[in-house]
Amino acid sequence: MLDNAARPGVNSLGLPRAPRDTRVVVAMSGGVDSSVVAAMLHAEGYDVVGVTLQLYDHGAALARKGACCAGRDIHDARRVAETLDFPHYVLDYENRFRESVIDEFADAYLAGATPVPCIRCNERVKFRDLLETARDLDADCMATGHYIRRLEGPAGAELHRAADPARDQSYFLFSTTPEQLDFLRFPLGGLGSKAETRALAARFGLAVADKPDSQDICFVPNGSYAQVIEKLRPGAVEPGEIVHLDGRVLGRHEGVIHYTVGQRRGLGIGGAGEPLFVVRLDAETRRVIVGPREALASRSLTVGEVNWLGDGGFGAAPEGGWEVAVRVRSTRPPKPARVHPLGDGRARVELLGPEEGIAPGQACVFYAPEGTRVLGGGWIRKD
């Protein structure tokens, strides 16, 4: 059931001691996934400690539904811990979350990028600050409810896509470092479906068994990014022009934060005579550049802050670059590509076939060309 099959002399988490002598901190969001992880490990006899993060104002959280870190979710996580009788702590990470995730989110949108705050939260809060807290609690490892697999390879722990492609969260975890991977465990990665997770929750008698999955970014009510950014950066949103690639001014907009690369609907330029898409956002001139669908296609991109999980040093690429498959959006399948290191954590990605709507601020995640292994990735930059 767990992501690391038991080997001689080790427990189901791959550690050389009995479960009762193994302390596991479980990052509990209050949802069904992390609750099942805690219940599974507790049932196996592990010394489980649940930790839930308060990531933004608790008073505001109480009025929110459908988001991962709201006040109701803290209550649900505490209830699971009480039901199963293991310790549970709520940690106030509000300032860390604002400084590490929310501020960058707002500034990136104002700069014409399309950020992915859930990746930054995993990278800078859950797998950095919370992981260190887990060590302070004398934990032997930290487990989460993410759908991804940690498998032992010839050179150590490897990151692999989840067994269920529909639930795979590898895109959001590409920046996990080898050092973090040594300490992390993902017990749900090998499950066949979300239905299997819910069945386990019901078997363990968890009240969250039928709780709906969260849909929103936790600090963005109703998916309204613009509303949040205008609140965070009052007066920073400025109107500008909507311009065709050929130079024609087609209309005006109320701020580039209302648009993203690849967008077609809601452009406010009816009667243009052809289907038009957002091709580029120029925050400096406050222009939204639009064009035909074929203008969205690209065969190359630049990434920064590369995290490499493959064998050997990233800079020691073979002639012709690393042969990989890449995913440039979380909803798209990996496509064949070659990655060429440029130094300073940057790389050039050459796609073997065109991809549409590559947007600065999104992640480009690297996978092995065959199989399920995650090789890392980087953040898409403006060329």
Q: How confident is the model at residue 57 (pLDDT cuts 50, 70, 90)?
A: low
The residue behind tokens 């550690």 is 15
Output the pTM of the full model: 0.92
> Annotated catalytic residue: which of 69, 118, 218, 364?
218
- Does 311 share its domain with 284? no
State the residue for tokens 């065969």: 299
What's the CATH number where 341 sits?
Answer: 2.40.30.10
What six digits make up the tokens of 113?
A: 């990028």
- What CA–CA distances, in Å, run from 250 to 70, 110, 119, 270, 347? 41, 22, 35, 9, 36
Residue 101 has pLDDT above 90, yes or no: yes
**Same domain as 353, residue 309:** yes
**Catalytic site residue from 68, 69, 118, 121:** 121
Q: Which residue has the tokens 């990531």?
A: 55
Does one domain contain both 67 and 214?
yes
| pLDDT over threshold 70, residue 260 | yes
Last residue of a domain, one of 276, 291, 306: 291
pLDDT digits (tens, 9 = 90+) for 23-53: 999 999 999 999 999 999 999 999 999 999 9
Express each pLDDT in 210-230 by its tens digit. Answer: 998 877 788 886 778 888 898
Considering the chain, what percentage of its residues have pLDDT values greater than 70?
A: 93
In a domain, 9, yes or no: no
- Domain end among 190, 222, 254: 222
218 is catalytic: yes
285 lies in the same domain as 311:
no
Residues 26, 122, single domain; the answer is yes
Known catalytic membership, residue 118: no
Q: Are residues 68 and 165 in the same domain?
A: yes
Work out the burial of residue 199: count CB atoms within 10 Å of its CB; fewer than 13 is exposed, 13-18 middle, 19 or more buried: middle
320 and 210 assigned to the same domain: no
Total tally of structural domains belonging to the chain = 3
